[in-house]
Structure 1
Amino acid sequence: MANPDSQTFHWRHDELEDKNFQIRGRTLYFIIVLFAVVISITLLFIYLRWICRFSSSSSAAVSHTVTLSPRQQPLSRSHGLDSSVIDSLPITLYHRSETAGDGECCICLGMFEEGEKVKVLPNCFHGYHCECVDKWLTTHSTCPICRDTIRVYSPV
């Protein structure tokens, strides 16, 4: 049954090694270019992240030092104001005849009633219901309408 022409198959360890494997011409060029592009994009990404992190921290520091006079202290933190600062904001009674606005709280969209307590922000003079603006200021340090930073003026 065995055919004399058939050859048995033998695995030899030295046949598994490919000593003739070579990378030539275009293939080597494309591998080098691809590697250089990947490295360049990685370095660019790292550089842009560093620039964004550096510029956001330095611009915040510069804006506070440039825009504030020595008599002003920012009350703002990145996540809202202290409750003592919120309580120190002026509260007035709403009178329809004295206001030029439409008499609406822009946070809850409710109308102010005659004689109702309204908290007025010191820089922009926007008025809100006390409960509405107090909730807002615990998480934000800006006016809900104009986004002006709330500042306290210390006496000299």
Structure 2
Amino acid sequence: MASSQDSTQQPFHWHYSGFEDKSFHFHGRALLLIIILFSLLILFTLLCLYARWVCRYRHHSAASPSTNAAAAAPEGAAAGLDLATINSFPTLLHRSSSSDEQAQCSICLCSFRYEEKVKVLPDCNHAYHPECVDEWLSSRSSCPLCRASLRVDTPTPTPTPTPTPIP
């Protein structure tokens, strides 16, 4: 019985003549699908290139501080502090209070060394290297860490009323 089943089942034979290039054709929906997929691929590539260009353009415009500082500052007002105000902030020697907690300059991210000069900003008492904070304050008028305003508004003198003579 086994011999009769083997004779009815024929082994699979490859016909290599069916795999010729002449018989490989796209028709109808398959051709339309290939064209649509290729078009979507090109569109996606162009969108990625455009997004990359936009990101570079924004990064480039954000890197030029002269245009941004002029746009952000109100008319007639300087963006940073004047040199006399910057030099009026106290410069002290850094003394570490504990060995496990190291203080660092938030601008350059370097740790303060023992008895290194640091400039302390008023009100917020944040300390920085004098070179770092002087450059920062020449273009901005706020603390780099907490953004507290360091601009000292001079009070405008109020005019005293002059007595009018009575005739």
Normalised by the shorter chain, which TM-score bucket?
A: 0.3 to 0.5
Over alpha carbons, which structure has the higher Rg? 2
Q: TM-score under structure 2 normalisation? A: 0.43
Q: Normalising to structure 1: TM-score of the pair?
A: 0.46
